[in-house]
Structure 1
Amino acid sequence: MEAIRETNFQLPNQQNFYRGKVRDVYTTPNQLIMVATDRLSAFDVVMPRAIPFKGQVLNQIAAKALKATEDVVPNWLLSNPDANVSVGFNCETYPVEMVIRGYLAGHAWREYRDGRRSICGVSLPEGLKENDKLPQPIITPTTKAHEGHDEDISKEEILKQGLVSKAEYEKLEDYTQQLFQRGTDLAARNGLILVDTKYEFGKMGDKIYLIDEIHTPDSSRFFYADVYEENQSKGLKQKQLSKEFVREWLIENGFQGKDGQQIPEMTDEKVAEISNRYVELYEKVTGEKFQPRDYNDVLKTIEQNILKSIK
């Protein structure tokens, strides 16, 4: 199956190149060019096979979400010259990711299930079940790791280590709450519940910008609103839109990114299944029909589209 595993462009005035878990990032004096590849990462490990259309899905959802929140906080995005490419301001990145949770799911639930009643310095009440709505959304930041696992960190520790100044951190908290509310409202229009998500911020001059992707299935978790209450009352698993289905498949097959664990085989059928799920995610999150890109000579096409757009 055709998919974009990696890019290796040499762009005019290129200063730096960084290959992240799923994106290839090129820097010029004035701009940052982010190529959303089809690489798949789970438990901070890049899977052996790329997933067709995954990069396009995430890039296009993020572009729509950034447009829909630009009145809340300015963002880094300038253009999308290709289905898999975003071009924007090259900001100085804050070394923390702002994770916000409205429900007890995923990592937070696993911590709670194992007996912890405080996450990132935020106390949680007794008696909660998996996927219960929290009394109010909580912010549980993580450190931003270039390699390996992001680590939970409290607001107090962020300030103690001087990672972010108190005034700026409180501004990031305020933006995070506002963005989560906007994302919640937008999700509701498409019959979804925004469960949890993460936001990343950067700075250019004295101005804070929202950067990276937002409200995508890789950075967020969504539940289907129409079955949430019934499933919760019956103790059933929630129907969700997120990358969690990939994590669950890996866990079932004995992989959680720990030393000595083997990634299970990704057959053509499994790759196709994951690709189809990402397309479903796009259509449900945006309410629009997905228009798959042409993979014929795809790297050349991407490079040409970038060259037309950069300054």
Structure 2
Amino acid sequence: MSNTLMDTNFHFVGQKSVYKGKVREVYTLENDVLVMIATDRLSAFDVVMPKGIPYKGQILNQIATKMMQATEDIVPNWLMATPDANVAVGKACEPFKVEMVIRGYLSGHAAREYKAGKRLLCGEPMAEGMKENDKFPEPIITPATKAEKGDHDEDISKNEILNREIVSKEDYEVLEKYTRALFQRGTEIAAKRGLILVDTKYEFGKTKDGKIVLIDEIHTPDSSRYFYAEGYEERQAKGETQKQLSKEFVRQWLISNGFQGLEGQSVPEMSDTYINSVSERYIELYESIMGETFQKADVSNIQERIGQNVSSYLNSI
């Protein structure tokens, strides 16, 4: 898997600092410009896997870019340009220390909490008698605190966020409004592709002039869960597993191999065959979500390609 992007070490003109997250690396430059590079790292259960997934960074970056362009009329975002398949350049912001998770269905983490007997998630009630993957009467917002690399994000309620003054009441109301608007638009886009947007997360920041904008990724298979709409009702009625598009298939593989990110557990060995199958699945996700054929970028020397493309763009602005 030599042709994967696992780490970067660029020195762009005007560079001030570098932040390395679980998947993305963010270079802060002078004039409040950020260069965000989507690596091929894979994170599950808030743990970064030891091997990268070919083309994953490109897939996430291109989906996020196109989804931001498709929602910029309802929610402002940080994006200025995408000079490379793995790179987005945009305005520097102060990120809010919460992720705005919104769920339309009882799936994933919510379903696991429900099975454990919980009927309240981040202060939001979940009705008795629901089955996994049932639709909520209305989407619920279940925020999570942002974690540093390697640490688990934690569920948190709106009241906790306000009481701990993590976000002001005024700003939080904007985050809620934007989250619901984005989820509605994402639901409409998914429906055109024969998909159901099940749940997703959004991250926001504030520019130096006080404007709240959407940052990071949006509606990607890493940040979102999709079901195929065709057959959804029939599968629910029969109690069958839903056919879905997300990285949940990776989580399920890890669970079946004894790993859920808990203390004392080791990441199972991922063979090259398995890694390639994950890459093929991500390409399938891209093509299903975007409704177009995925065009693989040249990965013969990813670092050199990115360096040249970003430097060329920065010299032009």
Report if TM-score (shorter chain) is over 0.5.
Answer: yes
CA distance in 2, matches of 1:292, 1:37: 15
Does residue 170 in structure 1 map to residue 173 in structure 2?
Answer: yes
* Matched residue, 1:23: 24
- Partner residue of 1:3? 4
Q: Cα deviations across residues 146-173 of structure 1 (Å, max 9, x unaligned)?
A: 1301100000000000011111101110
Please, which of 229, 232, 239 is the counterpart of residue 228 of structure 1? 232
Q: Partner residue of 2:67?
A: 65
Q: In 2, distance between residues paired with 1:57 and 1:231?
A: 29
Cα distance in structure 1, aligned partners of 2:210 and 2:275: 44
Pairing 1:215–2:219 present: yes
Q: How far has the Cα of 1:33 moved from its partner?
A: 0.5
Identity of aligned pairs, percent? 62
SS of residue paired to 2:252: helix
Give the gaps of 5 or more residues in structure 1.
Answer: none
Query: Secondary structure in 1 aligned to 2:18?
Result: strand
Partner SS, residue 183 of structure 1: helix
Moved over 3 A (4+): none
> CA separation in 1, counterparts of 2:147 and 2:118?
23
* Corresponding residue for residue 293 of structure 1: 297
Any gaps of 5 or more consecutive residues in structure 2?
Answer: none
Aligned to 1:157: 160
1:272 aligns with 2:276: yes
Q: 1:93 aligns with which of 92, 95, 99?
A: 95
Aligned equivalents of 1:125, 1:203: Cα separation in 2: 35
What is the CA distance between 1:178 and its match in structure 2?
A: 0.6
Query: Where in structure 2 are the equivalents of 1:188-203 lying within 5 Å?
Result: 188-203=191-206
Report the Cα distance in structure 1 between the residues aligned to 2:81 and 2:196, rounded to whole angstroms: 28
| Paired positions, count | 311
* Code of the aligned partner of 2:313: S
Distance 1:258 1:193 in 2: 31
Question: 1:206 Cα deviation (Å)?
Answer: 1.7
SS in 2 for 1:48: coil
1:77 corresponding residue in structure 2: 79
Q: Deviations over 1:17-54 (max 9, x none)?
A: 11111111111022110110101010111101100000
Match of 1:168, SS? helix
Residue identity matched to 1:3: T
- Please name the residue that 2:58 is paired with: 56
What is the RMSD of the two structures over their aligned residues, measured on CA atoms? 0.7
The reply to whether residue 238 of structure 1 matches residue 242 of structure 2 is yes
Q: What's the secondary structure of 1:137's corresponding residue? A: strand
- Equivalent of residue 186 in structure 1, options 182, 189, 192: 189
SS in 2 for 1:202: strand
TM-score by length of 1: 0.99
Q: Which residue of 1 aligns with 2:113?
A: 111
- Determine the structure 2 residue equivalent to 1:258: 262
Question: Deviation of residue 5 (structure 1)?
Answer: 1.1
Structure 1 position 259, deviation (Å): 1.1
Q: 1:281 aligns with which of 269, 280, 285?
A: 285
Q: In the TM superposition, what is the alpha-carbon distance from 1:294 to its structure 2 partner?
A: 0.9
- Which whole-Å CA distance do the structure 2 matches of 1:41 and 1:47 have between them? 6
Separation in structure 1 between the aligned mates of residue 296 and residue 186 of structure 2, nearest angstrom: 25
Q: Distance in 2 between matches of 1:44 and 1:116?
A: 22
Amino acid at match of 1:207: K
Helix, strand or coil for the counterpart of 1:69?
A: coil
Once the two structures are TM-superposed, the CA of residue 303 in structure 1 deviates from its matched residue by 0.4
| Aligned counterparts of 1:165 and 1:49: Cα–Cα separation in 2 | 39
Instruction: Tell me the alpha carbon deviations over residues 166-189 of structure 1, each in whole angstroms, 9 at most, x when there is no partner.
Output: 111011101100100000000000
Counterpart of 2:160 in 1: which secondary structure?
helix
Q: Which residue type is aligned with residue 208 of structure 1?
A: I
Normalised by the length of structure 2, the TM-score is: 0.97
- The amino acid of 1:9's aligned partner reads F
The Cα shift of 1:295 comes to 0.8
What secondary structure sits across from 2:154 in the alignment? coil
